[in-house]
Structure 1
Amino acid sequence: MLTDLEIARNATLRPIADVARSMGLPDELVEPYGRHVMKIDLAAIAALADRPRAKYVVVSAISPTPLGEGKTTTAVGLAQGFKHIGKQAVLALRQPSMGPTFGIKGGAAGGGYSQVVPMETLNLHLTGDFHAVTSAHNMLAALVDNHLHHGNALDIDVRSITWPRVLDVNDRALRNVVVGLGGRADGVTRQSGFDITAASEVMALLGLTTDLADLRARLGRIVIGWTHGGEPVTAEQLEAAGSMAVMLREAVKPNLLQTLEGTPALVHAGPFGNIATGNSSVVADLIGLRCGDYVVTEAGFGADMGAERFFNIKCRVSGEAPDAAVLVATTRALKMHSGRFTIQAGKPLPADLLAENPADVEAGAANLVKQIENLRLHGVSPVVAINAFPTDHASEHEAVRRIAEGVGARVAISTHFADGGAGAVELAEAVREAAEEPSTFAPLYPLTMPLREKIETIATRVYGADGVDLSPQAARQLDTYERAGFGDLAVCIAKTPASISSDPALLGAPTGWRMPVREVRASVGAGFVYPIAGTVRTMPGLSLHPAAHRIDLDEDGQVVGLS
């Protein structure tokens, strides 16, 4: 089989203007960006408001292996599959971060015959939105240090500053740095650090904003630290929010690309899946929902993380309710959850894992069953998509089907990687049926619930914990946020994606454990607090042999090494 890059490069793309017209987007609402990309003006939200609303479908997964279970590829395949049953779909995805692209992933456009194209354009800069987020974030960081240098009129407690700098590169050496070294003219010396751009609160709020005015207001609400008197210090007080908004005025517009089969793909925002929503933008979904029969969007990591945040954070902001949810499952992931195998990124799969053994699949079934339950907790109809690999066995697919149907979920086998949209017809039909059921969607908790109770609700009902243990520091921080008026924010728990629990070593659907929270941070501009349960890296490092070693230009100036 050809590589992903070869498949993408051999594709015949539709003129991007034709893709826009197929969505019913008039010329005055789109702006060409090169040959194969367009920006969509946010005026489209109001201009298209009278059109019929599409069905809203979120793609999530069971707790993944380190190799991932193919959510993006499945989302692309499903969107293409709808065309094969006579329906128009619009795909909505996050933009890839170049950190992972040059790190482990090597690209994030989907795979095989279910990709967003042009692949190189998507993975490498796109329209510069990430750079705009980087610049806006670092503008605020510069104004913080400038304020300290010029006398600190706001009386900021330097030890309380929580606003680092960001860069869209994996670089562990920048996690902890000292700024302001040198002479008096070089600023105030203090400890700081760098996060990856996708982990920026600016990226999180870009994904959740509803229009330009909302973006400007959210930027103003960002809290960078606290005064000596215990009051929050905001970007508005530092007179930074206006400049940040100017830097983001083009980045707030969704990007229009297409799949290999010409299905419209809205690619916009890229919030980190650990400490933020891990979902693409609200504005892209609001536009897509008036441009076809279905909107297919992806939520990062497993249903305990990206889907929970989609339901309880993103859908609150958009005011939209999902009509169905796809839960991607692979036999290799279920076998891993049996506890009998170890899977490591960059290493071949164990030979025993590839051998036919439905009993190993059944031994890891608890994770699948719990993640189906997590979707139903929110009143959403689940469809289990068995992402079929060439090395799979039919008996193991049947084991997954028995498990899922045994708890009342629809099931479809999908071969979209090898067969494109034609391989996702069974999945598209199952999703169509699920989306026709009356919606009973509801968030898991009201925003008026105290922060501690919100954390406890997610931990016990979604993760299966017996309770939550707050460190003294976390308890103090929650009290501070409640006093500052942040008690009505949503909650986005930062934890490992490798387990439904907060312990990456606990597979399946663990019970009899309690979730420790060592600290709680506030993304006030984005609209949530994030309790930290476990070790979460916001600036990844590079492996011994990162993708950066193989990505290059050939003698014809073509990119090679993306995957």
Structure 2
Amino acid sequence: MNVKPTVKSDIEIAQQSPMKPIIEIAEKLGINEDDLELFGRYKAKLTTESLKKIETKKSGKIILVTSINPTPAGEGKSTVTVGLGDAFTKIGKKAIIAMREPSLGPTMGVKGGATGGGYSQVLPMEDINLHFTGDLHAITTANNALAAFIDNHLQQGNQLQIDQRRIVWKRALDINDRALRKIVIGLGGPVQGVPREDGFDITVASEIMAVLCLATDLQNLKERLGRMVVAYNFDKQPVTVADLGVQGALTMLLKEAVKPNLVQTIEHTPAFIHGGPFANIAHGCNSVIATKTASKLADYVITEGGFGADLGAEKFLHIKARSAGIKPEAVVIVATIRALKMHGGVPKNDLGREDVHALTIGYSNLKKHIETIQSFGLPFVVAINRFITDTENEVNMLVDLCKQENIPVSLTEVWEKGGAGGVDLAHKLLDVIEKAESNFQPLYDLSDPLEDKILTIAQKVYGAEKVEFSPKAKKQLQDFDGFGWGHLPICMAKTQYSLSDDPTKLGRPTDFTITIRELKPSIGAGFIVALTGEVMTMPGLPKLPAALKMDVDENGKAIGLF
């Protein structure tokens, strides 16, 4: 009788994997204990002094990991990021991984965790997925302190003549809670404040998160915080944090959170986990400080953008790279056969069946993301993240489809094999970096009008035919140009599930229109958000949240993070 082998869950693998003291991990990078602020044995922040000491070092090569449009079938972009870092270490290269911090909202809601998977994970998995070093709590506190300062200003005479109907700053909470999207505050009489409409964003959608992730140091953080627009006055002119005079207080609340966090993978490759703005709402990349610090400490930095290349990679290249002076050397585009079959029309429940025809149709989604990366002038490798249900016929078909068009491709098995499963991918990346020099070039100039920048992204990255602007958005385009914001890059808020702004249009939709319903200034972060479709800045929980499977045992060990 054949007994089917038991597959361990991600948390079981993580909890059974021995860790080295973080001091030892730091020593491999040339960082001594005095340069660390320890959070127990396995987590640490780098001190401000240590960051200054390495500023003049030569920068290593940055490799960006992105993917096709995600589906419920899973893509494993973070898993490939971690596995690739371990693969570089395995072949003798000095590598560091730079990733985002998970948000408690998706962790307790849908994802159940976001630290890679299988034998390609960052550790300590439980801590990183929960409170970690407190960065998200600090951002939440700073966000809500600012909200309190605004309402107190109204209560104490409103010297800045803020129009309470035009306050754009919301409160924040790092959990999915749809009931808080729209609320009324200040009820109960004169001593309880000024009544007005308000609402909550999830913490990772707060502009403070984006500001922290794009700041280059503490002073730059303070300057960016001061530029954030919180409201408009009765003359319809913007009111900023600097007008309120509280940028110093907010910086004080964030002075520890701005320092990057050092952890390790299962195979003890160093990893910086720092910052985590949503990619369908904000720019979706880990902090500039973490990425640049990693580049000073290693020869190769493996980092990722959120969701597919239409969101995370586009924003990494147009916003983060341009702002920070980063030039990526190559890109990894992660795809799974399961997800491509979904893009080819197969329902999630039928993905276990072989369907080469659907795979061939779904390949069009991968092809569009390849074209997008090529349009930026970047060399790339497609990583097929193999699942146990993939058949040989399906694998061979996808490899053949890529090879027919001279697309570099690697079958990657990092979930099952850790770094060993990504060695081929690492070698192919080194090959394309050597043979095809990066000619990175943004798709639009900052001097282009805001409307043209949006059109460029919609047509060149999404494949849209045209863009329509609501009357409100048209008025905002004029106003923002008048406020001197026309030179800023665009951050598109769009569904991650489709190249279009309709999440039901999978594959490679054609002849579609992107509708811009509203613009939102993120002047501290340094971009203008263009809102499309029904993207929520405060998600809701699903009918059966991942939290229902979570618990702790009698020793306090977490159960149900996956």
**Post-superposition offset of 1:45:** 4.2
2:3 paired residue number: none
Q: Distance in 1 between matches of 2:285 and 2:485?
A: 23
1:147 paired residue number: 153
**Post-superposition offset of 1:44:** 3.8
2:421 paired residue number: 423
**Post-superposition offset of 1:337:** 1.1
Q: Which amino acid in structure 1 is aligned with residue 524 of structure 2? A: G
For residue 304 of structure 1, give the secondary structure of its aligned residue in structure 2.
helix
**Post-superposition offset of 1:557:** 2.0
Tell me the alpha carbon deviations over residues 354-403 of structure 1, each in whole angstroms, 9 at most, x when there is no partner. 22222221111111111001111111111100000011112211222222
Query: Structure 2, unaligned stretches of length 5 or more?
Result: 1-6
Change (3 A) 1:45 1:410: farther
1:18 paired residue number: 24
Q: Does 1:33 align with 2:32?
A: no
For residue 109 of structure 2, give the secondary structure of its aligned residue in structure 1.
coil
Task: State how 1:34-73 maps to structure 2 within 5 Å.
Answer: 34-73=40-79
Aligned partner (choices 271, 289, 302) of residue 265 of structure 1: 271
Q: Is the 8 A contact 2:379 2:437 kept in 1?
A: no
**Post-superposition offset of 1:88:** 1.6
1:357 paired residue number: 355
For residue 242 of structure 2, give the secondary structure of its aligned residue in structure 1.
coil
Q: Distance in 1 between matches of 2:257 and 2:438?
A: 33
For residue 58 of structure 2, give the secondary structure of its aligned residue in structure 1.
coil
Q: Distance in 2 between matches of 1:160 and 1:253?
A: 34
Among all aligned residue pairs of Structure 1 and Structure 2, give the percentage whose two residues are the same amino acid.
Answer: 48
Q: Distance in 1 between matches of 2:404 and 2:107?
A: 39
Q: Distance in 2 between matches of 1:486 and 1:435?
A: 37
Q: Does 1:557 align with 2:556?
A: yes
Q: Distance in 1 between matches of 2:347 and 2:357?
A: 17
Q: Distance in 1 between matches of 2:266 and 2:35?
A: 24
Q: Is the 8 A contact 1:66 1:498 kept in 2?
A: no
Aligned partner (choices 311, 325, 331) of residue 319 of structure 1: 325
1:405 paired residue number: 403
Structure 1 runs (4+) greater than 4 angstroms displaced: none
Q: Does 1:514 align with 2:513?
A: yes
1:187 paired residue number: 193
Give RMSD over aligned pairs.
1.2
**Post-superposition offset of 1:50:** 3.8
Aligned partner (choices 325, 338, 342) of residue 347 of structure 2: 342
Q: Which amino acid in structure 2 is aligned with residue 38 of structure 1? A: A
Report how many residues are paired: 555
For residue 92 of structure 2, give the secondary structure of its aligned residue in structure 1.
coil
Query: Structure 1, unaligned stretches of length 5 or more?
Result: 344-349
1:480 paired residue number: 479
Q: Which amino acid in structure 1 is aligned with residue 550 of structure 2? A: I
Change (3 A) 1:67 1:313: same
Q: Which segment drifts farther, 323-332 or 26-35?
A: 26-35
Q: Is the 8 A contact 2:382 2:408 kept in 1?
A: yes
Tell me the alpha carbon deviations over residues 240-277 of structure 1, each in whole angstroms, 9 at most, x when there is no partner. 21110000000000000000000001000010111111
Q: Is the 8 A contact 1:42 1:283 kept in 2?
A: no
Q: Distance in 1 between matches of 2:549 and 2:99?
A: 26
Tell me the alpha carbon deviations over residues 127-150 of structure 1, each in whole angstroms, 9 at most, x when there is no partner. 000000000011110011011111
Q: Is the 8 A contact 2:455 2:467 kept in 1?
A: yes
Tell me the alpha carbon deviations over residues 67-106 of structure 1, each in whole angstroms, 9 at most, x when there is no partner. 4310001100000011221112100000001111111111
**Post-superposition offset of 1:208:** 0.6
2:468 paired residue number: 469
Tell me the alpha carbon deviations over residues 486-523 of structure 1, each in whole angstroms, 9 at most, x when there is no partner. 11111011111111111112222222111111111111
Task: State how 1:366-515 maps to structure 2 within 5 Å.
Answer: 366-436=364-434, 437-515=436-514
Q: Which amino acid in structure 2 is aligned with residue 551 of structure 1? A: M
**Post-superposition offset of 1:545:** 1.6
Q: Distance in 1 between matches of 2:270 and 2:258?
A: 18
Q: Distance in 1 between matches of 2:548 and 2:503?
A: 29
For residue 333 of structure 1, give the secondary structure of its aligned residue in structure 2.
helix
Q: Distance in 1 between matches of 2:56 and 2:403?
A: 38
1:346 paired residue number: none
Q: Is the 8 A contact 1:386 1:411 kept in 2?
A: yes
Q: Does 1:201 align with 2:200?
A: no
1:118 paired residue number: 124
